[in-house]
Chains A and B, each alone.
Chain A
Amino acid sequence: MKRFIPHEELARDSRFVRQDPAQATVLSTLPDDVDTVVNVFQQFAPMIEAGVQGTSAQPLFEELGPGFMLTIINEPLDADGPAALPRLLLRMHGIFVGELQALEGAARSIWDFPDAPWEFKMNMARQCWDEARHIQIFEKLLIHLGGHVGMFPESTFLFEAACSDDPAMRVAGVNRGLEGLACDVFRDMIRYAEKTNDDVMKQAVDYVLADEITHVRFGSEWVREFTKGDPEHLKRTQDFRREVDKRFSFGGARSDREDAAIPIAREDRIEAGFTEDELDELAQISGEGPSKDTLTAAAEILRDRYKAESAARENGAAS
């Protein structure tokens, strides 16, 4: 069995479809300019449309056009807002596949680094069990909310971003980048569950968050250990984590900005071993994307154009 596999080789059953990873990259590199955002999404429209065909995201595309992800990602979850349930399910499904990739990432760390210290393998083995339980938990929560596995395309950008062949970078990407994002998202889900009086979701996610803090702590400790006495290696590792954090901020949707859809869970992250300096830096990195006004304006233009084009197509077909 070879060491190091690309994200394309993650094995899935027939319920799953993939999302083109280019979308996540695009989101993390958009400038704060309405026209550019519109042009980029217009260009990607055929790919986005093909990607949602036959999934539960298709109605969202038909309603909002190729910029539907901009609306979905950038607005905080609101139980009384438009398309509340599909948006909640889309997030839940995203978390579910994220857990799947976290399991695969932790498990591959055991195989890919046979010479790593035993304690590292023990930590990764424990994480495998935790992530396996998280998959089971989120599959049940997905069903609890009326969804099912495979209802949305799976983006493998988490695994992709976390797949370095250097153990320090791997744990920086998986255990600090990916797991740190999980802390932010789960704290937000607990708030949502409190607001909607969903005790089942609240308690389950609370336990998962406790596990994730432990996983981030593994990352904090192993980055230190793997780069001990090598400041240059530490710097490269931190640079890599910054890059991962930028991708995982979805153009500011996860940030410290007042209008952020997913705020940074500062207290949880401090408990997990992030320093105040690192969090300030994360706030700065994640806040760099286009403003919410820009994305809202772009989303509206994209929706209106899509509607106009659809109407024109229908008229053409009718005449």
Chain B
Amino acid sequence: MSERMYPGLQADERTVFAPYSAFEIPADLRELHGRYDVEATALRVRNFRYAEEWIMMMMGGWIATIPELPVKTGLGKVIWETAQAADEFGKRLPELRCGRKALDASEASNTAFSDFIQAVAEPESPPLTIEKLTGVFDVLIPHLVEIYELHNRETDAICDAPTIEILEDIIRRKHNHIQWGQDVLDALCETDELKQRRRDRADHIRSLLTASGGVTGVLETGQGSIN
């Protein structure tokens, strides 16, 4: 009997191919386990999208009101990459049973978080570049990175892999944004007085973030995982 390429109907009609494990390729050690079901992940993705969309919008408002030229141009790039992040989250929503029209669905975790976002967006006049950038680059974006990384650790690594892939790309860019924003702030805050302004602003914004429970609204006040 010749060697079989395809299985037949009888027990002795098996193919010649050895099973996967015979090749000593590292075994898949992932377990089917995650903290979030489809509905919970969909809500989180809408929460994430809310934050990204608002970061993009407030930076759009700020560009004309910021006198420092390299900050204007740098924000132009951050705006585009933040819009892409919001867009990727939006595209994930129909895949999470939110309906085909859910592409632009955003949802704040609670009113305290939407109030927090308004507080981050509040500084307006040209002398307030430090306040503008501190809220976003010292507090909000680092918080998002922390929660995105947490999601990737806690969600089902196989079932929710598409969300993980999206978050991994976004996290990579967010690290660049944080680096850029903090470099700019370091350069802007030359004196002790300006450094103090940055700290005061960060403390104020961080207290509002903590009180809201963060982007997903579920972190308890005082928990170390907000920044």
Across the interface, B76 reaches (CB within 8 A) one of A112, A117, A128, namely: A128
CB-CB under 8 A from B39, the residues of chain A are: none
- Chain B residue nearest to A12 (CB atoms) is B67
Across the interface, A5 reaches (CB within 8 A) one of B64, B74, B77, B123, namely: B64
Q: Does residue A91 face the partner (Cβ distance < 8 Å to B)?
A: no
Residues of A54-81 contacting chain B, CB below 8 A: none
Across the interface, A104 reaches (CB within 8 A) one of B53, B64, B74, B124, namely: B64
CA distance A5 to B64 in the complex (A): 9
CA distance A221 to B66 in the complex (A): 30
Tell me if A107 and B79 are in contact (CB < 8 A). Answer: yes
B61-94 vs A: 1/0 string, CB under 8 Å? 1111111110011111101101110010010000
Residues of A11-58 contacting chain B, CB below 8 A: 11-13
Q: Does residue B126 face the partner (Cβ distance < 8 Å to A)?
A: yes
- Chain B residue nearest to A136 (CB atoms) is B73
Tell me if A110 and B60 are in contact (CB < 8 A). Answer: yes
Tell me if A11 and B65 are in contact (CB < 8 A). Answer: yes
Most B C-beta atoms less than 10 A away, residue of A11, A12, A109, A131: A11
CB-CB under 8 A from B63, the residues of chain A are: 103-104, 107-108, 128
Residues of A115-152 contacting chain B, CB below 8 A: 117-118, 121-122, 124-126, 128-129, 131-133, 135-136, 139, 149
Number of chain B residues whose Cβ lies closer than 8 Å to a Cβ of chain A: 35
- Chain A residue nearest to B105 (CB atoms) is A118
Tell me if A128 and B69 are in contact (CB < 8 A). Answer: no
Tell me if A129 and B76 are in contact (CB < 8 A). Answer: yes
- Chain A residue nearest to B67 (CB atoms) is A11
Interface size class of A (residues with CB under 8 A): 35 or more
CA distance A108 to B124 in the complex (A): 13
Tell me if B56 and A121 are in contact (CB < 8 A). Answer: yes
Tell me if B69 and A111 are in contact (CB < 8 A). Answer: no
Known: A121-B56, A132-B74. A13 touches B69 (CB 8 A): yes
Known: A1-B121, A103-B72, A129-B79. A11 touches B60 (CB 8 A): no
A-B contact count (CB 8 A): 104
Most A C-beta atoms less than 10 A away, residue of B57, B59, B90: B57
Tell me if B68 and A13 are in contact (CB < 8 A). Answer: yes
CB-CB under 8 A from A1, the residues of chain B are: 58, 61-62, 65, 121-124
Tell me if B76 and A107 are in contact (CB < 8 A). Answer: yes
CB-CB under 8 A from B95, the residues of chain A are: none
CA distance A129 to B74 in the complex (A): 8
Tell me if A126 and B80 are in contact (CB < 8 A). Answer: yes
Q: Does residue A84 face the partner (Cβ distance < 8 Å to B)?
A: no
* A–B pairs, 27, beta carbons within 8 Å: A1-B58, A5-B65, A11-B65, A11-B66, A12-B67, A13-B69, A103-B72, A104-B72, A107-B59, A107-B63, A108-B60, A108-B63, A110-B56, A110-B60, A110-B79, A111-B58, A111-B60, A112-B61, A118-B104, A122-B83, A124-B60, A125-B56, A128-B80, A129-B76, A129-B77, A133-B76, A135-B73
The 10 closest A-B pairs by CB, nearest first: A132-B76, A110-B60, A111-B61, A125-B83, A129-B80, A118-B104, A107-B63, A104-B64, A11-B126, A132-B73
